[in-house]
Amino acid sequence: MEKEKEEGKLVGEITHFFPHVSAAVLKVKSPLKVGDRIKVVAPGGVEFEQEISSMQIDRNEIEEAKVGDEIGLKVDQKVHEGCKVYIL
């Protein structure tokens, strides 16, 4: 519980990264929307924060993602499969 307070609320996990477009696939476990501030945490402890600027499902822009969606998410840095994503 202490970890969740420190990180924010878990919203999903990265399942794939596309380096040529700097985008990741996120399996959504909690609702998320464009403009939300997130923290990405890698298993090794590397982390960064960013604001969500773009999300897609099947190459269609979306404003909100719901539980169970798998979305494409523009990321500011390289991420890896297994990275956890928290909303701040």
Beta pairing partners, 58? none
CATH code (residue 28): 2.40.30.10
Q: Count up the domains in the chain and report the number.
A: 1
Q: pTM here?
A: 0.88
Tens-place pLDDT, residues 28-63? 999 999 999 999 999 887 899 999 999 999 999 999
Q: Please give the residue range of the domain that contains residue 46.
A: 2-87
- Three-state SS string across 31-84, please? CEECCCEEEEECCCCCEEEEECCCEEECCEEECEECCCCEEEEECCCCCCCCCE
Tens-place pLDDT, residues 5-17? 456 899 999 999 9
